[in-house]
Amino acid sequence: MLGLVNWIEQVVSVTRFSLKTIPERLGSSASAAFGIAGVVAVMVGVLSISQGILYMVKQSSVPENAVVLRSGSSSELVSGLAGTDTEVIAEAPGIRRFDDGPASSPELFLIINLPKRSTGTDANVPLRGVAPAAFHVRDRFEIVEGRSFEWGLNEVIVGRGASEEFAGLAVGETIEVAGEQWPVVGLFEAGGGIAESEVWADAAILQSAYRRGNSYQAVYTKLETAGSFQGFKDALTTDPRLNVRVVREAEFYQGQSQMLTTLITGIGTVIAILMGLGAVFGALNTMYNAVSSRTREIATLRALGFRGGPVVLSVLCESMVLALVGGLVGGGLAYLAFDGFRAATINYSSFSQIAFAFDVTPGLMLQGVLYAALLGLIGGLFPAIRAARLPISAALREQ
């Protein structure tokens, strides 16, 4: 027990001495810390894209909502439902009913080209045709500027995300739809969900404009309770008049975003690893220099009876402290630079743009700091072993 206490005291003493000498090596120490800070800032910044998309997906769905597509369809773009199908779906058990009818909205999903505000290049923007029940199905829907479109008229309303990312979508402007100019009469929010990336219009008018007849691509429904889903699904999938796929809204949106988030997370991880290698070499160089400049000091401590273990831990602690400082700085810079930054990217499931905000979460910042600690540990390990193995007699003779 006494030996353990003595060993711990040696670790504390040597580590304290090591940390106090950092100002004497301020240049190289700062270089290592800021190298790691850059790695963490880039990693957190890239991964905040996927976090922002995941947040948008979460905000897009509620447990009581379900989506009905044609059987075998993975997205609205390749789905198709006849008007008679949507009527059968609206009468299914479990759907919540309001004074003006069931909360069942048959919808069209189309794509129009609009220029991005940032680059001026054309991008695919979702144009959604909705039924009156759409405003019952989307709980967080709210007109925040202008008004809603009037049923039967060539008018559109736009989500806030789409309005900020694409030109021509401010209230009072017009956009080209099916070769004609349609006025933008309102701006809406939907709790930060995917709907804010879309342009909405009357589905019946869009059917006529695009010669779609009495057809739709999906039906969005609100059920009485989340527990009503299985009965609702069974009723539709066993109905001989229908050939449909029924999924919870959360599952549907997760499937739509999975490819994109996986791709971004993979890219972010590769970038972090490649940059991390550079940061590790920087930390190695810094810690080798630190050991080299303190050769006689370390040898003196060894000659006084300090063991190799405390010396190893002191070098590792110094490396970890520099890395953690870099991680905290990098995480803070990423938060200031990226959190809430709005952008748009392609959704590979629908081949249309989705607008979202980068989301630097506390968990993501913690992940960055832990990665910095790992880089510091790797960067300090070999210099620490070298310090512990220095021959005492030879080291004491060094000038």
Instruction: For residue 95, give the 3-state DSSP assignment.
Output: strand
- pLDDT recorded at residue 395: 47
Report in angstroms the alpha-carbon separations of 44 from 13, 105, 228, 366. Answer: 35, 39, 40, 10
Residue 356: predicted pLDDT: 84
DSSP string, 329-354: HHHHHHHHHHTT-EEEEEETTTTEEE
- Are 255 and 346 spatial neighbours (Cβ–Cβ below 8 Å)? no
The beta strand positions in the chain, using DSSP E, are 65-70, 81-82, 97-98, 101-102, 104-115, 122-130, 141-146, 156-159, 174-177, 180-190, 199-202, 215-216, 218-222, 244-248, 342-347, 352-357
Contact indicator for 110, 208 with CB cutoff of 8 Å: no
Indicate the SS3 state at residue 322.
helix
DSSP state of 289: H
Dist. CA 110–CA 217, nearest whole Å: 10
The Cβ of residue 31 has, within 10 Å, a number of other Cβ atoms equal to: 16
Beta partners for 215?
82
- Other C-beta atoms closer than 10 Å to the C-beta of 263 total 13
At 336 the pLDDT is 93
Residues in the chain: 399
The DSSP letter of residue 166 is: B
- Please give the single-letter amino acid code of residue 50: S
Who's near 149: CB < 8 A, 6+ residues apart? 155, 156, 157, 185, 186, 200, 201, 202
Instruction: Report pLDDT for 363.
Output: 92
> What is the reported pLDDT for 399?
47
The Cβ of residue 75 has, within 10 Å, a number of other Cβ atoms equal to 19
Per-residue pLDDT of the chain (399 residues; tens, 9 = 90+): 545 555 566 556 666 656 666 666 667 677 778 888 888 888 898 889 888 888 888 888 889 999 999 998 888 988 999 999 999 999 999 999 988 889 999 999 999 999 988 788 888 999 999 999 999 998 889 999 999 999 999 999 999 999 999 998 999 999 999 889 999 999 999 988 889 999 999 999 999 999 999 999 999 999 999 999 999 999 999 999 999 999 999 888 888 777 778 888 887 788 878 877 777 777 667 666 665 555 556 666 666 565 656 666 777 777 778 888 888 999 999 999 999 888 888 777 777 888 888 899 999 999 989 988 888 888 777 766 766 666 655 545 554
